Amino acid sequence: MVACASDIFCALMKTKKRIVGSLFIAEEDSGPTDVMSVVNTERDLLEKSGLTIETLSDWRVNPMEFDKVMNRSLAAFIIGPANHGIRCEKYVKAFVDEIENDMKFNPYHNWFRAVDVGHATWRLANICQVTEYLAFHETFAMLVAALCLDLAHPGLNNGFLVQTRHPLAMTYNDRSCLESMSCSRLFEIVSQPHCAIFEPLSKNHYNTVRKVVIAAILNTDTAQHFQSVKKVQMFYEMNSEVLQMAGEVYREQVEEDEEEPVFPLPEVSDVFKEANNKQILVNLLVHLADTSNSTKPFRICKIWAQKAMEESFLQGDHEKALGLPIQAMNDRFKANLSFSQFGFIEYLVAPFLMTVIKVLPPVEPMLAQMMLNAKCWQSEYEEEGFTSPEEREALQSRVTDLVRLYNERWK
């Protein structure tokens, strides 16, 4: 698969008018050579850190295994001009430094996860060919939202903040407290002159970017998950004739081992380009990246799951110390990693992904990996030896149901 930067550069090359009119290049007569110079510079900086576009075009990327320079370089590349064409390069380094400093040292919601979600969104943008239906400033907004959706996260969930009358709950009226705070922090940071990555945008494009970023981040509130699934399902149903046809064409090309299956078809691009649909797609891609741990190779999936559970247990310790009811997943003496992760896949990730693939068929390999991970969690749970025959039978029944849904995913 060609890297996203290359895809966008090809889009930039379609017409010089588009370059000047859409990218706000400082010099009115700037042309393709100027844009290509920026793309090459960003790639050079990335490679100096020890990373390449080729190595990043893989789901086995794990920012927890990168050093500080690598993660900063990756974050800067993700939101840099090579991926959207907006000439913000002079602000990117300071912006990345600022958001890294804003992240807390939580076991899970930390700088590594910010880079991971940013990278996952970059991969999805590439796989799903967003340059065919999103404008450059909309792509920019999506990538920034992904990198910043957990800014200043305290390692506690919204339920805890509301229950304890935390200042964030008071400020945001108990609604999407963490996500609202992240949006606020992001726009506080970009208001600083040295971090003004949105400065090159026109007023109209800035207003669009702000709207897209806020909507995408607020949509990642777990409380909104099932509503998000419904919205994607409704989007598919309203455009089912075109999307079903495109999905069949794509799958046929994959089965015939086409080197580069075509997606999206022109008919799909026309649907995706509609103003209301663009936000649905941005929300979908960012939310998918935010929940993508369960779709990574199992070794990486398990590391992230352990980190998430460690953070949940720390919240459970706070709940216990305050005399509050301990949320089920936060009780370190009762919660089981393997069992809970299977449930997370079964109830949250699987229904979402099985809907998403009908809209974006190129992400189907993520669903296949998720199914492998579900089986791995089942095996680990059974190997722990704490289960009765009845419990194993009940879990196997749930696995069978999940496999059936997977086999019927295109019906």
Is residue 409 assigned to a domain?
A: no
The position carrying tokens 């004739």 is 241
Query: 350-359 and 275-290 are packed helices; what angle lies between their axes, rounded to 10 degrees?
Result: 140
Amino acid symbol at 128: C
Is residue 58 assigned to a domain?
A: yes
Domain of residue 190, residue span:
4-226
pLDDT at residue 26, as a whole number: 31
Each as own residue / partner, the long-range contacts of residues 229-234 (CB below 8 Å, 24 or more positions apart, any chain) are 229/351, 229/352, 229/355, 231/280, 231/283, 232/280, 232/284, 232/352, 232/355, 232/356, 232/359, 233/355
pLDDT at residue 387, as a whole number: 78
Distance (Å, whole) CA 192 – CA 215? 22
pLDDT at residue 27, as a whole number: 33
Is residue 305 assigned to a domain?
A: no
Q: Is residue 287 within 8 Å of residue 228, measured between CB atoms?
A: yes
Residues in the chain, total:
411
pLDDT at residue 37, as a whole number: 76
Number of structural domains in the chain = 1
Q: Is residue 174 within 8 Å of residue 162, measured between CB atoms?
A: yes
Q: Is residue 64 within 8 Å of residue 112, measured between CB atoms?
A: yes
Is residue 166 assigned to a domain?
A: yes
Print pLDDT tens along the chain (411 aa): 334 444 443 444 343 333 222 222 333 333 444 667 777 888 888 999 999 999 999 999 999 999 999 999 999 999 999 899 888 999 999 999 999 999 999 999 999 999 999 999 999 999 999 999 999 999 999 999 999 999 999 999 999 999 999 999 999 999 999 999 999 999 999 999 999 999 999 999 999 999 999 999 999 999 999 999 999 999 999 999 999 999 999 999 999 988 889 999 999 999 999 999 999 999 999 999 999 999 999 999 999 999 999 999 999 999 999 999 999 899 999 999 999 999 999 999 999 999 999 999 999 999 999 999 999 999 999 998 777 889 999 999 999 999 999 999 998
Distance (Å, whole) CA 106 – CA 210? 27
Is residue 287 assigned to a domain?
A: no
SS3 334: coil
Dihedral over alpha carbons 142, 263, 18, 194 (to 10 degrees): 20
> Residue 51 belongs to a domain with what CATH number?
1.10.1300.10
Is residue 191 assigned to a domain?
A: yes
Distance (Å, whole) CA 408 – CA 372? 17
pLDDT at residue 34, as a whole number: 64
Q: Is residue 297 within 8 Å of residue 369, measured between CB atoms?
A: yes
Is residue 113 assigned to a domain?
A: yes
Is residue 374 assigned to a domain?
A: no
Number of Cα atoms under 13 Å in the Cβ half of residue 227:
8
Neighbour-count burial of 167, counting CB atoms closer than 10 A to its CB (0-12 exposed, 13-18 middle, 19+ buried): exposed
Amino acid symbol at 9: F
Residues 6+ apart with CB under 8 A from 119: 56, 61, 63, 74, 78
pLDDT at residue 15, as a whole number: 32
- Whole-model pTM? 0.91
Asked whether the bond before 264 is cis by omega within 30 degrees of 0, the reply is: yes
Six token digits for residue 237: 């149903």
